[in-house]
Amino acid sequence: MRLTVLGCGDAFGNGARNNSAFLLSDENEHVLVDCGATTLIRLKHESIALEDISTIIISHFHGDHYGGIPFFLISSLFEETRKSPLTIVGPANIKEKIFQLQEAMYAGTGEKLDQLDITYLEYGRDPIEFADKKLIAKPVEHSPPSIPHGVRLEWKNKVFAFSGDTSWTDNLLELSAGAHLFICECNFLHEQAFGHLCYDELVERKDQLMCENVWLSHMGTEMLNQEISVFNKLTDGMKIEF
């Protein structure tokens, strides 16, 4: 399995980093975890055909995490007409949220989404199983109206975990347990504030994280400028085999 970091930035583009978007790939298929506003540009930079992306998983309803979906869909409608099915998974009312965003960004195109073969799946208490994948989503601590979740994807005998945006919650331990790769947000260096994690707090809890590799994402300026000795920092364009 390979991870391509399309974007690992925060909402403000600190460090000139793109919005949250992580591409998981095997030899035949791509799965997109988050689809921030800059995602289509980054996919084109990596020469990834949208047709080859089978699934989009959305952590929560903030623009730097799902604001790229209208660009993805208009390209699929008008640029290179998509023929293959697409599964979009996310928090409650994801179909309605995507329609509303589509209309807000490109008025009149919402109704055209019916031309695409899209299956919408919502997070719930039970794991979501589709095709050869198993997805577990757990609520996390971020802006409540955004319906924030962290996710754990089990696919092809590999486990990928993603915190989404959150302050500390023990749900992160369950999501990341035994993961081959865990991407965890780390917005701050020292400051502890609701909705985001800080590096000091993660270092204190490192022995609780029972996973193989922890990579930090969604870093603010102070974190980006700080040399660290525990965990690893993601950068846009990075590719990780796991």
Question: Is position 64 annotated as part of the catalytic site?
Answer: yes
Tokens coding 177: 């347990």
State the catalytic residue, choosing from 34, 64, 165, 236.
Answer: 64
CB atoms within 10 A of CB 109: 16
Burial of 58 (0-12, 13-18, 19+ CB in 10 A): buried
Q: Write the CB contacts of 114 (distance below 8 Å, at least 6 apart in sequence).
A: none
**Helix, coil or strand: residue 227:** coil
DSSP letter at 35?
-
Apex CA 86: angle with CA 71 and CA 32, to 5°?
A: 65
Tokens coding 14: 């600190």
- Indicate which residues carry an active-site annotation: 64
